[in-house]
Copies of this chain bind each other. A is one copy, B any other.
Amino acid sequence: MLAIMKEIPDRLTIGELSARSGMAASALRYYEELGLISSTRTAGGQRRYARATLRRVAFVRAAQQVGLSLDEAREAMARLPADRAPNAREWSRVARRWESRVEERIAELQRLKERLGGCVGCGCLSLQKCRLYNPGDQAAERGPGARHLIEDVPLSS
């Protein structure tokens, strides 16, 4: 041959997958246990991964960045083929869901940032009398979850 085409094997050992994905082998075994990725075995029982697994692992990492648990990632990936690249329909279905998730997360952080900067910017630096940003301290009543950054008692009287 002109060049060696064998350099990129199409079944990866766990060590290779680990090196390429940047995940520890132990983590990959763990992912497999959870059903996030899968492998075939050699006669001797060693794992061999399809190259597409690399994509799945990357997917998992990305999912975690967005704040998904491994369980949610598995669920999301259930819609993607395990052994080949996803096609248009498959991918866009998943991507759309993700995008909204990412956007939500971004929006949340932006609100946070506004409050953070807001109190500095609006001149009420003591944070004590800024009704704009501290509309009472009833926040708890709205249940756990989104809440004012700085909540405090309203001006008594």
Task: Indicate whether A116 sits within 8 Å of B99 (C-beta atoms), given known contacts A86-B127, A127-B85.
Answer: yes
Q: Which residues of B contact A98 (CB under 8 A)?
A: 116
Q: Which residues of chain B have C-beta atoms less than 8 A from A126's C-beta? A: 85-88
A34 within 8 A of B: no
Residues of chain A in range 7-61 having any CB-CB distance to chain B below 8 Å: 7-8, 19-23, 51-52, 54-55, 58-59, 61
The answer on a CB contact under 8 Å between B22 and A140 is yes
With a CB–CB cut-off of 8 A, which chain B residues contact A3? 157
Q: Enumerate chain B residues within 8 angstroms of A143, measured Cβ to Cβ.
A: 22
Are A99 and B119 CB-contacts (below 8 A) given A3-B157, A22-B144, A55-B127?
A: no
Minimum C-beta distance from A106 to chain B (A): 5
When distances are taken between beta carbons in the complex, the residues of chain B under 8 Å from A55 are: 127, 150-152
Q: Are A102 and B109 in contact (CB under 8 A)?
A: yes
| A103 at the B interface (CB under 8 A) | yes
Residues of chain B within 8 A of A149, CB atoms compared: 58-59, 62
